[in-house]
Chains A and B, each alone.
Chain A
Amino acid sequence: MSSGKTLLDKIWDAHVVRPESETTPAILYIDLHLVHEVTSPQAFSELRARGLNVRRPERTLSTFDHSTPTLPADAKGQRAYVTAEAASQVAQLETNTKEFGVELHGWDSAHRGIVHVIGPELGATQPGMTIVCGDSHTSTHGAFGALAFGIGTTEVGHVLATQCLLQRKPKSFAINVHGKLQPGVTAKDLVLHIIGTIGVNGGTGYVLEYRGDTIDALSMEERMTVCNMSIEAGARAGLIAPDAKTFEYLKGRNRSPQGAAWDHAIAAWSALKSDRDAHFDRDVNIDASKIHPSITYGTHPGMVTTLDALVPAAANAQERRALDYMQVQAGKSMLGTPVDIVFLGSCTNSRLSDLRAAADLLRGHHVASRVRMLVVPGSEQIKRDAEKEGLHETFRNAGAEWREAGCSMCLGMNGDIGKPGQLVVSTSNRNFEGRQGPGVRTVLASPLVAVASAIAGQIADPRELMAEAAA
C-alpha cells in the first residue's frame, strides 16, 4: 500500500547523493554546516593532515560561544577567559576559519552568539535544508522545517571535506499537539511536558515532527524552544512544517533569498509539509490545554512535574539517587525551595521574546537578596536589540547581571558555574548532575518561572505575579 510522504521523507529524498543499501548508509548532502570552537579543532587538524580543503566554504558558518567569557573586555581589550586553554581554543577557530576561508562571526561581529541563535537570525537557517553542527542542540533549526541534527567531530571533518555525511534514515515520530496553552504556560513548559510524556529515550532513533493547532499558534521563537529540546527526548532532530510565520520571520534577513529568488523559495517551501496520508512510525497525542507551568526535580529533563503538583516517588534506585542529589523529597512541592542562582539564557530561551517576557514580569520588582541572577542574551544582535528597548536597565535595576552573549551557565564551560550544593533555576536544557558545576543542582524552567523564583528567592509560580500585574 502506498502512502504519502512525511516532511522527513521529502527533505531526506531531496538530499540523497547515493541511496542507502543493505551494506552501506546513504550519502546525504548537507546544505548548511555550523561550526563552533569546541567540536571543530580536531576536524580542521584532520583536513590539514590529509591536505584537504573545505569543499563549500560558503555553506559553512562559524562563531564562538561555548568557551567564551560573558564579561565584557577590559580597558585593554583583554577578555576574562576561564583558562589559557579556553582562550587558545577560540584563537584556534580564528586561525582555522581564516586558513580555510570560512565565514566567522567573531568578537567584532554584530552576529556573534550562540550558534543556534545566529543561524536563524542571519537567515542562514531555511526550510527544506539539511543542517548539521557539532552540537546536539542543532535540533533547534528544525523549527524552520529543516532537517537539523548534531554530529561528532569526526563527522564535522566529513562535512568540511565533502559537504556530505554517511547516514541511515531515521524513523518518524508524530507529536500531535492540540489545544490552547493556558496563561503563564510557555513553549518551554510544553516541551518539558512532551519529554516527560515520551521519556528521555522516547525519541531515540526518531525524528520528531511537532504538529497540530498548538504548534501552528506558536511564534518562531517558541517553535525553536520546542525543537531545541528534541534531543532531551533522545531524538537527534525535531521538525515543524514551515508556514506563513516562518516566511515572515525569514524575509529580508542577511542570508535569505532576495527578489525573484524569494518568490521561488516561498513556492518551494510551501510544499514542505507531511502529506495527509503520510505514515509515521510512531505517534503520540498531547492535550496542550492541560499543561501547567513545569519544572524539573531530578537529574534528567524527563524528571519533570508541574508547579502545582508534588514530587513523585522514586521509581528505582537511580531516581532515589537523583532525588538525594537534588535534596528533593518525594510527596512535597517544589514551590518554596530556596534558590541561589537564576540563569536566563541558552539556545533554549535567550531570544528577544524570552528577554521581553522576563523583563515584563521583573519590572517594578527586585531580585531577592539571596539570589544571583545572570541574564545572557543569545547573540550580540539580541543584546543590542534588547538594549534599544531598555531591557538591560530593567534587569540591572532589579539586581540582575546583564552579560555578553554565549552559552554561559548552560554547560558552564566558560567558568560561569555555581558552587557545590547551590540550586540554580535555569532556562537552559539539561539538568544533569554537575552540568552547571560540580555538585550544583539544576532545575529547568521557563523564563517566567525563573523570574518569579528570582524575585521570591525560592521556586515560585509566575501566575501569581501575572495576576498581580493585571490587577
Chain B
Amino acid sequence: MKPLTHIHSRTVVLPHENIDTDRIIPARFLTTTERTGLGKSLFNDWRYRADGTPDPDFALNKPEARGCEILVAGRNFGCGSSREHAPWALLDFGIRAVLSSEIADIFRGNALKNGLLAVVLSESEHAYLLAHPGIELTIDVAGGFIELPDGGRFTFELESFARHCLLSGVDQLGFIMQNASAIDAFEQKREAA
C-alpha cells in the first residue's frame, strides 16, 4: 500500500442515504478473481442507461466530476455486503476519499486497508459539503482535518492504527506476522487447556 498523506481535490456528491455495496458494484461483477479493473463497473446500474451509454445526469458522469478524488456521500455509505470489490472499484475509478456522516463498519475497514480514506464528519459539516458539490478540499491525514477554500477546517477522527498504516503504507499482514511467537504461545496454551 502506497502512503497516503494528503488529498487535494474537488468533490463529487452523491447525497443519497444508505448507498449499499450492491449500488457501488452489483454482484454480477464479482466473478473476477483479480483486484483490478473494477472501476468501469463502479455504480454500474446508476451510471449507465439500459443501452449501456453513460447517463449524463449521474453525478460521476458530469464533466465537472472528471478527476475528482473525493466522494461526499449520504449517510450510512457502504452498507450491505463485505465485498472488498466496493473499495477496489472506487479506487480503480480514481476516488481516494469517501466522506459521510456515517459509514458502514465492514466497508470502512475494507476501504482503509486499501488506502481509501473513509471518514465520518459531523451532521452540520456533512450537510455543508452535500450543499456545496465541487468544492475544493485539502485533506490532511496526519493532522486529521479537511481544509476548505476559505481556510476553515473540519476535523475528523481516524482510528490511530489505520492512520499510521495510511501514512506509512504499513503492510498489515506483515504486522500480524511479526507477532508469530505470541500466536504460537496462544495456540499452545489453548491446546494444553
Residues of A that sit less than 8 Å from B by CB: 17-18, 22-25, 27, 29, 38-39, 41-42, 45-46, 50, 55, 66-67, 82-83, 85-86, 88-89, 92, 134-136, 138, 150-155, 157-158, 161-166, 168, 170, 200-201, 204-205, 231, 234, 236, 300, 316, 318, 321, 411-413, 420, 430, 432-435, 438
Contacts and interface: CB of A to CB of B under 8 A. Distances in A.
A154 B172 contact: yes
B186 to A, nearest CB: 5
Nearest to A199: B76
B81 interface: yes
Given A135-B82, A136-B106, A158 B31 contact: no
By CB atoms of chain B within 10 A, which of A17, A157, A165, A168 has the most? A17
B31 A85 contact: yes
Interface in B137-186: 159-161, 164, 172-173, 175-177, 179-180, 182-183, 186
A134 B75 CA distance: 24
Contact of A135 (B81, B102, B113, B190): B81
Contacts of A83: 31
Q: For chain B, which range describes its interface: under 10, 10 to 19, 20 to 34, or 35 or more residues?
A: 35 or more
Interface string B77-98: 0011111100100000000000
B105 interface: yes
28 contacts: A23-B160, A23-B161, A24-B160, A29-B186, A29-B187, A42-B33, A42-B84, A46-B173, A82-B31, A85-B31, A88-B31, A88-B33, A135-B81, A150-B81, A152-B87, A152-B109, A152-B110, A153-B35, A154-B113, A162-B180, A170-B105, A200-B79, A204-B76, A236-B105, A411-B22, A412-B28, A413-B30, A420-B50
Given A23-B164, A29-B183, A88-B33, A150 B177 contact: no
A138 B82 CA distance: 10
Contacts of B81: 135-136, 150, 411
Nearest to B172: A166
Contacts of B106: 136, 150-152, 231, 236
Given A201-B18, A434-B23, 16 more contacts: A22-B160, A24-B161, A39-B83, A41-B33, A67-B31, A82-B28, A89-B33, A134-B82, A158-B173, A162-B177, A166-B175, A200-B18, A236-B105, A236-B106, A420-B50, A435-B22
Contacts of A55: 183
A153 B183 contact: no
Nearest to A162: B176
B45 A413 contact: no
B15 to A, nearest CB: 8
By CB atoms of chain B within 10 A, which of A45, A152, A155, A205 has the most? A152
Interface of B: 16-18, 20, 22-23, 26-28, 30-35, 45, 50, 74-76, 79-84, 87, 102, 104-106, 109-110, 113-114, 159-161, 164, 172-173, 175-177, 179-180, 182-183, 186-187, 190
Given A88-B33, A300-B20, A27 B109 contact: no
Contact of A17 (B20, B110, B183): B183
Contacts of B87: 152
Given A151-B106, A164-B183, A413-B28, A433 B176 contact: no
Given A88-B33, A162-B173, A204-B102, A434 B22 contact: yes
B23 A150 contact: no
Contact of A300 (B79, B102, B187): B79
Given A411-B27, A412-B27, A438-B45, A432 B82 contact: no
Contacts of A24: 160-161
A432 B20 contact: yes
Given A18-B182, A29-B183, A89-B33, A318 B82 contact: no
A201 B33 contact: no
Contact of A433 (B22, B35, B190): B22
Nearest to A96: B33
